[in-house]
């Protein structure tokens, strides 16, 4: 039997492979499902028949038998913010490398009902598990109600609501940036924070505050933004009016861009008059004026660890919740490297 012996109007089926290889269709099924009970010689004969007939297994039928669809779901939310968008991309890349396809359920309003519906929608697509990007506390609380038999990993989600968590160490990243500024002999460091309900913003405030306390410095008042350049600009104007600000740690690069603009308009030179550091290491931060010192987040590692934890959960749903913490990296550039700060110790 050859491929030409099959009607050109239909593709080869499992029975054709079985006939050509001289085995039962159950044996062909075992080979396709990588069952160890087939001898090497028989396996080779079946694989040769599959290649000769150009047989393509029915993935839907195979999924019913093995309960492995090679698909995962991702709960994300509609945003163009650098961190969440790059986290989603990293998860998709890690899933592809692991041989999985990804279905994404975007949530416009981050509330319990929206997240529950997103999880139900992905579950109806027979995904093997879900990775949820949960940057806000309300999202983490909603995930506590996900059925325990559905493997779930939470990204940037605090304690994860009892689920495995993968995150960048936001506290350490803020400490790195604050320590770097304090080392320039600036006296104190002001902070433009992200929205109060964002877990990443909370972690960065905590790291900034703890590093000031370590240096026996009373933390100034926290200024709040909404991650946008406009909110950074508004806070930069407030800081420029004070006249005594010598260093600012900004919770993301886009707000730092606004701070730089406000300082420039007030005639403050960066870094000669004020030092500014951001967070994220967005691609354009190296081209700010001046290039911005910032904290790099390794999103590739976040995606890779997220997939690893999810696959562990799929293989063993009873496994205790674990965490993977990705270390941040300080990237120093001209916005904090003014020679006058180094020589005069101002």
Residue 46's CATH number: 1.10.260.40
Alpha-carbon dihedral sign for residues 329, 252, 92, 156: positive
* Amino acid 145: pLDDT: 78
Co-location of 121 and 216 in the same domain = no
* Amino acid 345: pLDDT: 46
Residue labelled with tokens 């933004």 = 225
pLDDT tens by residue, 185-210: 999 999 999 999 999 999 999 999 99
Co-location of 46 and 82 in the same domain = no
Co-location of 213 and 114 in the same domain = no
* Amino acid 342: pLDDT: 52
Residues 181 and 187: their CA atoms lie apart, in Å, by: 9
Co-location of 117 and 43 in the same domain = no
Co-location of 175 and 275 in the same domain = yes
* Amino acid 68: pLDDT: 60
Residues 8 and 219: their CA atoms lie apart, in Å, by: 77
Co-location of 40 and 111 in the same domain = no
CA geometry: angle at 176 spanning 173 and 181, to 5°?
Answer: 130
* Amino acid 343: pLDDT: 43
Co-location of 280 and 313 in the same domain = no
Q: Is residue 6 part of a domain?
A: no
Co-location of 35 and 141 in the same domain = no
Compute the half-sphere exposure of residue 106: CA atoms within 13 Å on the CB side of its CA.
8
Q: Determine the structural domain holding residue 141 and report its residue range.
A: 68-168+298-326
Residues 280 and 303: their CA atoms lie apart, in Å, by: 16
Co-location of 193 and 272 in the same domain = yes
Co-location of 158 and 211 in the same domain = no
Q: Is residue 346 part of a domain?
A: no
Q: Is residue 343 part of a domain?
A: no
In which residue ranges of the chain is pLDDT below 50?
A: 3, 60, 64-66, 343-345
Domain count, the chain: 3
Residues 76 and 61: their CA atoms lie apart, in Å, by: 29
Q: Is residue 5 part of a domain?
A: no
Q: Which of 61, 78, 100 is the last residue of a domain?
A: 61
Residue 13 and residue 50 in contact, taking contact as beta carbons nearer than 8 Å: no
Residues 30 and 27: their CA atoms lie apart, in Å, by: 5
Closest CA to 264 of 189, 272, 331: 272
Co-location of 54 and 164 in the same domain = no
Residue 117's CATH number: 3.40.50.2300
Closest CA to 197 of 169, 227, 164: 227
Side by side, the strands of the sheet bearing 323-326 are: 101-107, 71-77, 129-133, 152-155, 165-168, 323-326
Co-location of 140 and 200 in the same domain = no
Closest CA to 160 of 187, 135, 180, 193: 135
Residues 107 and 151: their CA atoms lie apart, in Å, by: 20
The helix or strand, by DSSP H or E, that contains position 29, with its residue range, turns out to be helix 25-32
């Amino acid at each position: 039997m050859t491929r030409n012996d099959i009607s050109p109007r239909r593709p080869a089926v499992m029975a054709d492979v079985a006939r050509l290889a001289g085995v039962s269709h159950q044996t062909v099924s075992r080979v396709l499902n990588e069952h160890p009970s087939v001898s090497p010689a028989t396996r080779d004969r079946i694989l040769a028949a599959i290649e000769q007939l150009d047989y393509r297994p029915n993935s839907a039928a195979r999924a019913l038998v093995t309960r492995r669809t090679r698909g995962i779901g991702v709960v994300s939310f509609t945003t163009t913010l650098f961190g969440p968008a790059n986290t989603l991309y990293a998860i998709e890349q890690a899933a592809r490398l692991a041989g999985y396809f990804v279905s994404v359920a975007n949530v416009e309003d981050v509330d319990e009902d929206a997240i529950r519906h997103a999880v139900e929608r992905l579950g109806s697509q027979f995904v093997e598990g879900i990775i949820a990007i949960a940057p806000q506390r309300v999202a983490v609380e909603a995930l506590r109600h996900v059925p325990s038999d559905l493997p779930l990993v939470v990204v940037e989600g605090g304690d994860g609501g009892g689920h495995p968590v993968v995150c960048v160490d936001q506290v350490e990243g803020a400490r790195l940036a604050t320590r770097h500024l304090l080392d320039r002999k600036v006296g104190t460091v002001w902070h433009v924070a992200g929205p109060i309900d964002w877990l990443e913003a909370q972690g960065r405030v905590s790291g900034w505050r703890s590093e000031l306390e370590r240096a026996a410095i009373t933390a100034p008042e926290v200024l709040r933004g909404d991650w946008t350049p406009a909110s950074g600009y508004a806070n930069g104007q407030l800081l420029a009016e004070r006249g005594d600000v010598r260093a600012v740690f900004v919770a993301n690069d886009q707000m730092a861009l606004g701070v730089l603009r406000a300082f420039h308009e007030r005639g403050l030179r960066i870094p000669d008059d004020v030092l500014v550091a951001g967070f994220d290491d967005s691609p354009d931060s190296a081209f700010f004026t001046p290039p911005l010192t910032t904290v790099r987040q390794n999103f590739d590692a976040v995606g890779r660890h997220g997939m690893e934890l999810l696959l562990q959960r799929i293989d063993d749903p009873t496994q205790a919740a674990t965490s993977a913490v990705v270390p941040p990296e300080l990237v120093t550039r001209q916005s904090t490297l003014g020679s006058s700060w180094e020589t005069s110790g101002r």
